[in-house]
């Protein structure tokens, strides 16, 4: 075991262990990315150990429970039957063969990469690494992270070296493979989402490709970890820029009296050269609001200004302010000031039908409304309560959809499919719709923004 990947002639042994499902997989970070990976590898017959610093998560998983809406507890129990267990004891890292790191990479308050979760993870594992292991970073990050942060952290510890070529006698293999989770998307099986892999050297690339090939139907190997890191950023910046475009066009269309949703629908009938993107109250999720700033920050190291990307980020970040202004204007039209108005926000999640609050524009909008003196309540079927997070401190409870006419305004921020929008409009005094959730409904009560 100690010299399983001692040189290139040992690689067939790694492939054999993968094929026989004897390779032990460790996954660090059991959230929206890590836990689905646990299930994929468990389903393929691998013995998986999940690592997380959150003791409550560990206890729930070991009790056969799930804390993610789209993951059924039965899936957890099925994985347990195949050897899965969770732990907060990182000294067990030495007992696994592949280590997949799926921890958060948020932005700091100054829009610079916050690598503290990755750094803390490396501090927790480097003292337990042994020759023959594969370490793969999955967290979204800037190009160069794997080579500039992960590999040096391993080598600084002095326990093992990083294998960069087949001539090295022994050590740890290092690679990068970006997560491609799309919470709420049930139309694409996770196995059908191609997995991009970039290894620090040929051996690492082949070992990572072999491992992921058993859980994903297609693996795309690129030339380096940096190329894989840039691939992930390109995917999300592409979306960010196009969403910024339609957000800006929405603001123009509102002034021109044109329905942007009608325009997008008509443009989408073109069978080539156009892909529809849709406006909204702001960006949410862990990737799209964050990734452009990761690349902009890294670009400065090369004396390069990503003006186009930064502008898109600015446009999207301004959308919550637009929503608050629209609420204020709609109330003013009814001779009501925003201050002291009772407002019910529909939806806390960052997008429809998910239990994910990360970077949700709803959180910012609620705080902005409160700062303007409004009395704000919320309803979300996925969040009975909301407390304190990295960038918010709300401490609120979800309110029932009763007595809607007691609110001066009902604001639709997240268009969950469980909402009966016709009833909401009928029973409310005023509905401000930032998602086109009331499409097809005609009422003077509706203000679309």
Distance (Å, whole) CA 120 – CA 309: 30
240 is an active site residue: no
- Return d(Cα 118, Cα 98) in angstroms, integer: 17
Q: What is the DSSP string of 56-77?
A: HHHHHHHTT---STTS-HHHHH
Using a 10 angstrom Cβ sphere, with 0-12 exposed, 13-18 middle and 19 or more buried, the burial of residue 310 is middle
- Could you report how far apart the first and last alpha carbons of the chain are, in Å? 61
Contact criterion met (CB below 8 Å) for 424 and 346: yes
Structure tokens at 226: 């940096």
Q: Are 103 and 121 in contact (CB under 8 A)?
A: yes
Calpha distance 372→321 (Å, rounded)? 12
Collect all residues with Cβ–Cβ distance below 8 Å to 318 and sequence separation of at least 6. none
CA–CA distance, 83 with 102 (Å, rounded to integer): 20
Q: CB atoms < 10 A from the CB of 390, how many?
A: 13
Whole-Å CA distances, 51 to 57, 87, 104, 121: 10, 5, 14, 10
- Identify the active-site residue in 102, 240, 253, 287: 287
DSSP for 114-142? --HHHHHHHHHHGGG--TT-EEEE-S---
Backbone angle region of 340, left / alpha / beta, with phi > 0 → left and psi within -120 to 50 → alpha:
left
Contact by Cβ (8 Å): 150, 201: no
What number of other Cβ atoms are within 10 A of residue 265's Cβ? 13
Q: In 132-224, which ranges are continuous DSSP H helix?
A: 145, 151-156, 202-213
DSSP structural state of residue 349: S
Q: Rounded to the nearest 5 degrees, what angle is found at the Cα of 236, between the Cα atoms of 232 and 238?
A: 115
Contact 418, 387 (CB under 8 A): no
- Tell me 113's DSSP state: B
Residues marked active site are found at 287
């Amino acid at each position: 075991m100690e010299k399983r990947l001692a040189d290139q002639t040992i690689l067939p042994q790694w492939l054999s262990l993968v094929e026989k499902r004897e390779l032990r997989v460790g996954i660090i970070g059991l959230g929206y990315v890590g836990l689905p990976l646990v299930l994929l590898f468990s389903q393929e017959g691998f013995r998986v150990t999940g690592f997380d610093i959150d003791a409550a998560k560990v206890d729930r998983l070991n009790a056969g429970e799930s804390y993610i809406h789209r993951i059924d507890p039965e899936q957890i129990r099925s994985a347990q039957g195949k050897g899965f267990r969770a732990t907060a004891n990182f000294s067990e890292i030495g007992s696994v063969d592949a280590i997949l790191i799926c921890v958060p990479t948020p932005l700091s308050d100054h829009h610079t990469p916050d690598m503290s979760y990755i750094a803390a993870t490396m501090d927790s594992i480097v003292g337990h690494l042994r020759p023959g292991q594969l370490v793969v970073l999955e967290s979204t990050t800037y190009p160069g992270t794997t080579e500039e942060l992960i590999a040096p952290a391993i080598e600084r510890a002095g326990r093992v070296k990083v294998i960069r070529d087949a001539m090295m006698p022994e050590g740890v293999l290092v690679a990068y493979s970006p997560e491609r989770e799309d919470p709420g998307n049930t139309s694409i099986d996770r196995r059908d989402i191609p997995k991009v892999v970039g290894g620090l050297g040929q051996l690492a690339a082949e070992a990572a490709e072999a491992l992921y090939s058993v859980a994903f139907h297609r693996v795309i190997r690129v030339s380096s970890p940096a190329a894989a890191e840039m691939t992930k950023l390109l995917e999300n910046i592409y979306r960010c820029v196009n969403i910024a475009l339609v957000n800006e066009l929405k603001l123009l269309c509102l002034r021109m009296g044109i329905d942007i949703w009608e325009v997008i629908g008509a443009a989408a009938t073109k069978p080539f050269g156009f892909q529809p993107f849709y406006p909204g109250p702001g960006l949410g999720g862990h990737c799209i609001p964050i990734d452009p700033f990761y690349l902009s920050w890294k670009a400065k190291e090369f004396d390069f200004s990503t003006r186009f990307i930064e502008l898109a980020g600015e446009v999207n970040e301004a959308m919550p302010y637009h929503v608050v202004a629209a609420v204020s204007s709609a109330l003013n039209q009814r001779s009501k000031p925003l201050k002291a108005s009772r407002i019910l926000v529909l939806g806390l999640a960052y997008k429809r039908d998910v239990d994910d609050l990360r970077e949700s524009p709803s959180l910012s909008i609620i705080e902005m409304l409160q700062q303007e003196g409004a009395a704000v309540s919320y309803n979300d079927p996925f969040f009975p309560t909301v407390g304190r997070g990295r960038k918010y401190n709300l401490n609120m409870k979800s309110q029932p959809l009763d007595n809607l006419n007691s609110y001066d305004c009902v604001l639709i921020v997240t268009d969950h499919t469980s909402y009966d929008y016709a009833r909401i409009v009928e029973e409310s005094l005023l509905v401000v719709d930032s998602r086109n959730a009331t499409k097809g409904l005609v009422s003077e009560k509706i203000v679309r923004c």
